[in-house]
């Protein structure tokens, strides 16, 4: 997609490529509950950024705001340098341009904890659905891509099965194939392994690692510190809606600077 140049679009200069996602000073409340209290975050192209933190710290909310599934009350969200346009302020702030929202959202594919596959469709139909109906791509071309992505995540033999006939790990890999088939600019994962038994979890971790190695841009919310440590270029520790600490995984996990992160890591070890 071509970045639209607007008054709000800032040129980062030749030394810094335009990130896929950039968030500046984001504030988000649910009624009187302030959940995000001024968060800045950058997901450069080809990088994996993980979000960690206690339950309720705002990780899912940040991911949903980045994907424009949630409104936010203040701050900026930029997709490939293009700032989301807003109308209104505070709790009345909403995106001003529906077409822009759809364009950004279709370029950011989300994978959820609970897979969210259609139970009445086969795995192949699930993977083909959005590229055909939302993007209007030719069915034959999408089927070829869907089969290729299902093979890539290791379930090429499950095309004609229904979700209920698959294990949790297989269903989550189908959900990842479905996200890939949209040919997104970035993948957003919200606890992709949390609903799985440990042995099934590893199947999914392997797929996510392979995607990281091929240079996919990913935002990953996870409770799995080992996965965050293995796949991330950058890790953000959220605490009560603020970034308490962030950095490369070696430093964050190997030499945490704040008491809160030290406490969090010892509680999750
Ligand atoms: N739709 C909503 N309406 C009201 N409050 C919400 C809503 N969604 C989230 N919250 C609140 O916002 C805060 C942050 O929630 P969020 O789901 O982002 O946390 P999280 O870090 O993803 O936690 P977890 O690790 O448990 O998934 C919590 O206090 C939660 O209760
Ligand atoms: Mg969450």
Kindly report the three-state secondary structure assignment for every residue of 155-182. CHHHCCCCHHHCCHHHHHHHHHHHHHCC
Alpha-carbon distance 20 to 210, whole Å? 20
Task: Give this prediction's pTM.
Answer: 0.92
Here the tokens at position 138 are 């030719």
Distances (CA, A) of 5 to 81, 83, 179, 249, 260: 8, 9, 28, 34, 41
Q: Are residues 84 and 151 in the same domain?
A: no
Q: Give yes or no for residue 138 CB within 6 A of ligand 1.
A: no
Q: Are residues 211 and 155 in the same domain?
A: no
Q: Give yes or no for residue 29 CB within 6 A of ligand 1.
A: no
Query: pLDDT at position 159, please?
Result: 98
Please answer whether residues 88 and 11 qualify as being in contact, where contact means their C-beta atoms are separated by less than 8 angstroms. Answer: no
Tokens 């979700």 sit on residue: 163
Which of 138, 163, 183 represents a domain boundary (last residue)? 183
What separation in Å is there between the alpha carbon of 161 and the centre of ligand 2? 30
Residue 16: phi, psi to the nearest 5? -130, 110
Total count of domains within the chain:
2
Q: Are residues 25 and 72 in the same domain?
A: yes
Probe target for ligand 1 pocket from 28, 39, 41, 56, with the most ligand atoms within 8 Å of CB: 56
Q: By C-alpha distance, which of 22, 9, 59, 12 is closest to 244?
A: 59
Please answer whether residues 23 and 77 qualify as being in contact, where contact means their C-beta atoms are separated by less than 8 angstroms. Answer: yes
What separation in Å is there between the alpha carbon of 62 and the centre of ligand 2? 9
User: Nearest residue CA, atom 30 of ligand 1?
Assistant: 56
User: Nearest residue CA, atom 13 of ligand 1?
Assistant: 56
The pairing of beta strand 21-30 with beta strand 74-79: antiparallel
Query: pLDDT at position 8, please?
Result: 47
Q: Are residues 103 and 119 in the same domain?
A: no
User: Nearest residue CA, atom 28 of ligand 1?
Assistant: 56
Query: pLDDT at position 106, please?
Result: 94
Which of 152, 183, 214 represents a domain boundary (last residue)? 183
List Cβ neighbours of 91 (8 Å cut-off, separation of 6 or more): 29, 73
Probe target for ligand 1 pocket from 28, 30, 64, with the most ligand atoms within 8 Å of CB: 30
**pLDDT truncated to tens, each residue of the chain (269 aa)?**
334 444 444 555 556 789 999 999 999 999 999 999 999 999 999 999 999 999 999 999 999 999 999 999 999 999 999 999 999 999 999 999 999 999 999 999 999 999 999 999 999 999 999 999 999 999 999 999 999 999 999 999 999 999 999 999 999 999 999 999 999 999 999 999 999 998 899 999 999 999 999 999 999 999 999 999 999 999 999 999 999 999 999 999 999 999 999 999 999 87
Query: pLDDT at position 17, please?
Result: 86
């Amino acid at each position: 997609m071509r970045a639209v140049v607007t008054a709000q679009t800032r040129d980062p200069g030749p030394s810094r490529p335009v990130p896929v996602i950039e968030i500046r000073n984001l504030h988000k409340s649910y009624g009187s509950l302030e959940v995000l209290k001024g968060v800045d975050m950058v997901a450069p192209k080809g990088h994996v950024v993980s979000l960690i933190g206690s339950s309720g710290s705002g990780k899912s909310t940040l991911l949903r705001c980045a994907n424009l599934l949630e409104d936010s009350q203040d701050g900026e969200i930029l997709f490939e340098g293009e700032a989301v346009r807003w109308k209104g302020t505070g709790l009345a702030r909403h995106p001003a341009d529906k077409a822009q929202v759809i364009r950004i959202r279709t370029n950011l594919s989300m994978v959820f904890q609970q897979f969210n596959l259609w139970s009445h469709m086969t795995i192949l139909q699930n993977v083909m659905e959005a590229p055909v109906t939302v993007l209007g791509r030719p069915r034959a071309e999408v089927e070829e891509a869907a089969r290729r992505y299902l093979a890539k995540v290791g379930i090429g033999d499950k095309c004609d099965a229904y979700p209920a006939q698959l294990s949790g790990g297989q269903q989550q890999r189908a959900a990842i194939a479905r996200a890939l088939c949209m040919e997104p600019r970035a993948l957003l994962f919200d606890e992709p392994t949390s609903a799985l038994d440990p042995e099934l979890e590893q199947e999914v971790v392997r797929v996510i690692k392979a995607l990281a190695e091929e240079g996919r841009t990913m935002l990953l919310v996870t409770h799995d510190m080992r996965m965050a440590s293995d796949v991330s270029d950058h890790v953000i520790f959220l605490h009560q809606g603020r970034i308490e600490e962030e950095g490369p995984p070696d430093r964050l996990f190997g030499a945490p600077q704040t008491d809160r992160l030290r406490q969090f890591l010892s509680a999750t070890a």
